[in-house]
Structure 1
Amino acid sequence: MSRLHEGAELAVDHLTKTFGAVRAVDDLSFTARPGRVTGFLGPNGAGKTTTLRILLGLVRATSGRATISGRTYGELVRPTRTVGAALEAASFHPGRTALDHLRVYAPQVGVDDRRCSEVLELVGLDAVAGRRVGGFSLGMRQRLGLATTLLGDPGVLVLDEPANGLDPEGIAWLRALLRHLAGEGRTVLVSSHVLSEVQQTVDDVVIIARGTLVHQSSLAELAALAEPSVRVVSPDARGLADLIESAGWADRVAEDGTASTGTAVLRRVAAAEVGARAFAAGLEIHELSAREVGLEDTFLRLVDERPGHVQAGEEAR
């Protein structure tokens, strides 16, 4: 079944969507390229689902465009053969078997029963093809939903929170499958509100907050934005504050509950520099520890450090 696919570039161009007074998507632009897994990331309410719904022709944009190889979804000649999409929780008839569920969609897509069996094997459900879906776990339902998106063997996959309900083994399986599909040349766009959930899967990241783009790059370039930090504790709170001010360090200070002891977490500064300056100033230090900054910390910093904006609920239609 494995073969090369001609993926399509997904392009979101100055996209804006308002629901009454709520601006769910705000002049958003980004691209997702063939042969790569792109993580579409942002906190809940950032506008991810609204953007994907516009891309798939389910919601009309207020302005801007979202296209697949230069065409809107409605302009595609055979959309189910071009794009496979799974948004939110898929709906299943509990009395149908997994195979029968796919058979319902097969005529619409233009495939036969053999293809239904192929995709069940691809997602690891071939052994339970004859079981009723009503007895499936959430993770098994997620797999069946993914099988449905793959029926038409599309070159583009758009998946909204596909890891929901999967156990660690299932997440590892999903990671390998998405890498395999992208390796065949497909364009894979995966949304998530947790970077750690997809960081071992994606090649590129698109991060949005409050409907606007805050970052787009390769995953490696995002990692390069990580800023070291140092935690410093001194029994002389006033002296520590004076040292921070005189050095011009970016910081956030958290008092530990006493009137005299100062605690600070300093960013973009090395522990050695803090120690040297404290020694020169005669400041007593009780703790000086470097902190590693992970990708998740960088992601949270990017989505938190945005100008004030109306928060848009992703459930808005």
Structure 2
Amino acid sequence: MTPAPPPDAPVLEAVGLTKDFGAVRAVDDLSFAVAPGRVTGFLGPNGAGKTTTLRMLLGLVRPSAGRGLVGGRPYGEHPAPARLVGVCLDAGALHPGRTALGHLRVAAAPLGLPETRVREVLALVGLEAVARRRVGGFSLGMKQRLGLAVALLADPAVLVLDEPANGLDPEGIVWLRSLLRSLAGQGRTVLVSSHVLREVEHTVDDVVVVASGRLVVAEPLVDLARRAEPATLVLAPDAAGLAALARSHGWTTAPDPATGGVVLAGAEAAGVGAAAHAAGLELHRLEPRGSDLESVFLRLTQPGPDPGESPDPGQSAAEGVAR
């Protein structure tokens, strides 16, 4: 069992972070804070500037403007930053000829960590049985687990993970969710990036959403959920009558092949039932479908590209920066 960190785990902050690569602005005046004791999802489509932002927070990329702070100080100004912040930015950056055990031993040596800690994190991430296998034969999911083991080696108070669910199977995603929730429950500051909200919506407490390098929203997940429109599944023998009812109330319709019915977006089930009753429309099924967070995410992050907008070059430009 990983011991709990000190109770004063620091806040992770981006303060006006900006990064230009030539004429292209990859990150634009980005400010947000990641609180201890919570899992924060750093969300945005591919090319939104997430990885460039994470690298600036960790001092791996120099900002054009602004600052990245850990507990009010730049990462590099801490006396032992690698012990304070556990990082996994690229699970594929592993020597293929080393074993999992050997890779962790190499990572542990400069931190002065004992063999017992290496064995402990191997067990924590579920790689104990393959400790002596060469990393070159690992699946992407196994590499993700090994990268996470490296991040956890020094028992850090802060975790920064870039797309940690990439390559994990459904069982692995459930395991990762449980681990991250446990780490945040111990008081740690946890920042997890993803380009798919569905991957993290059952894991995170707060969300920071970016698009084209700019902040779109930073708020608790429950507040983001309030932006979602309700939806209702309806089966009615009079398809034309149902379509007319939907048009008259401004509800968007979409077929549901699994049931043969129609999903009315923006419609509460009670409202649909009342409207159908008033119109004399017979219904055979009326089922609330709840809110679709993924639709909210897409609506916030894909309003349409600005003229001349380019994908974030930060990932490729910073690809060779050593961790």
TM-score, scaled to structure 1: 0.83
CA distance in 2, matches of 1:301, 1:152: 39
User: Could you tell me which residue of structure 2 aligns to residue 303 of structure 1?
Assistant: 301
Question: Of the candidates 109, 133, 136, which is equivalent to residue 134 of structure 1?
Answer: 136
Deviation at 1:33, TM superposition (A): 0.6
Partner of 1:170: 172
Could you tell me how far 1:196 is from its partner in structure 2?
Answer: 0.9
Q: Which moved more, 1:108-117 or 1:184-193?
A: 108-117
**Aligned twin of 1:261:** none
Query: CA offset at residue 174 of structure 1?
Result: 0.9
Q: Is the 8 A contact 1:36 1:203 kept in 2?
A: yes
- State which drifts further: 264-273 or 209-218: 264-273
Match of 1:260 in 2: none
Q: Is the 8 A contact 2:92 2:140 kept in 1?
A: no
User: Match for 2:129: what amino acid?
Assistant: A
One of 64, 67, 71 as aligned partner of 1:65: 67
Quick one: distance in 2 between partners of 1:23 and 1:9? 26
- SS of residue in 2 equivalent to 1:34: coil
Task: Return the offset for 1:15.
Answer: 1.4
Question: In the alignment, which of 53, 56, 64 is matched to residue 54 of structure 1?
Answer: 56
Letter in 2 for 1:53: R
Q: Secondary structure at 1:315's aligned position in 2?
A: helix
Distance apart, 1:269 and its partner CA: 4.8
Q: How many Å apart are 1:9 and its aligned residue?
A: 0.4
Provide the residue aligned with 1:312 in structure 2: 311
Q: Would the alpha carbon gap of residues 142 and 14 (structure 1) be closer, same or farther in structure 2, given more than 3 Å must change? A: same
Aligned to 1:100: 102
Cα distance, 1:139–1:278 mapped onto 2, change above 3 Å: closer
Superposition deviation, residue 211 in structure 1: 1.0
Distance 2:288 2:182 in 1: 38
SS of residue paired to 1:152: coil
Q: 1:288 to 1:107 in 2, by over 3 A?
A: closer
Deviates more, 1:183-192 or 1:123-132: 123-132
Correspondence 1:208-223 to 2 at 5 A: 208-223=210-225
Partners of 1:8 and 1:34 within 8 A in 2 = yes
Which of 176, 182, 185 aligns to 2:184? It is 182
The one-letter code sitting in structure 2 at the alignment partner of 1:79 is P
CA deviation profile, 1:291-317 (whole Å, cap 9, x unmatched): 543211221122123773624325342
CA distance in 1, matches of 2:128, 2:271: 60
Corresponding residue to 1:83 among 65, 82, 85: 85
2:30 is matched with 28
- Which residues of 2 match residues 153-302 of structure 1 at below 5 A? 153-229=155-231, 235=240, 249=250, 268-270=266-268, 292-302=290-300
- Output one character per residue of 1:99-135: Cα deviation in whole Å (capped at 9) or x when no partner: 1111112222221222111111111112222222222
| % identical aligned pairs | 59
Q: Distance in 2 between matches of 1:49 and 1:184?
A: 26
Deviates more, 1:22-31 or 1:33-42: 22-31
Residues 116 and 265 (structure 1), Cα distance of their counterparts in 2 relative to 1, 3 Å cut:
closer
Change (3 A) 1:270 1:120: closer
Q: Which runs of 5+ in 2 are unaligned?
A: 255-261, 318-323
* CA deviation after TM superposition for structure 1 residue 3, in Å: 2.3
Aligned length: 304
The answer as to whether partners of 1:115 and 1:151 remain within 8 angstroms in 2 is yes
Measured after TM superposition, the shift of residue 80 of structure 1 is 0.6
Distance verdict in 2 for CA 1:272–1:82, change over 3 Å = closer
Distance change >3 Å, CA 43–CA 100, structure 1 → 2: same
| Runs of 5+ consecutive residues of structure 1 not aligned to the other structure | 255-263
Moved over 4 A (4+): 229-236, 238-241, 251-254, 264-283, 287-291
Deviations 1:85-107, CA, capped at 9 Å, x for gaps: 11123322222221111111222
Cα RMSD after superposing both structures: 3.1
| Separation of aligned partners in 1, 2:178 and 2:27 | 31
Q: What whole-Å deviation, never above 9, does each CA across 1:14-65 have from its counterpart, x for those lacking one?
A: 2111112221111111110111110101111111001001111111111111
Partner of 1:7: 9
Alpha-carbon separation, structure 2, partners of 1:229 and 1:117: 49
Q: What amino acid is the match of 2:4?
A: R
Residue in 2 that maps onto 1:117? 119
Taking the aligned partners of 2:123 and 2:288, their CA distance within structure 1 comes to: 48
3-state DSSP of counterpart to 1:115: helix
CA contact (8 A) 2:91 2:146 kept: no
Contact in 2 for aligned 1:209/1:306 (Cα 8 Å): no
The match for 2:42 is 40
Cα distance in 2 for partners of 1:297, 1:107 equals: 46
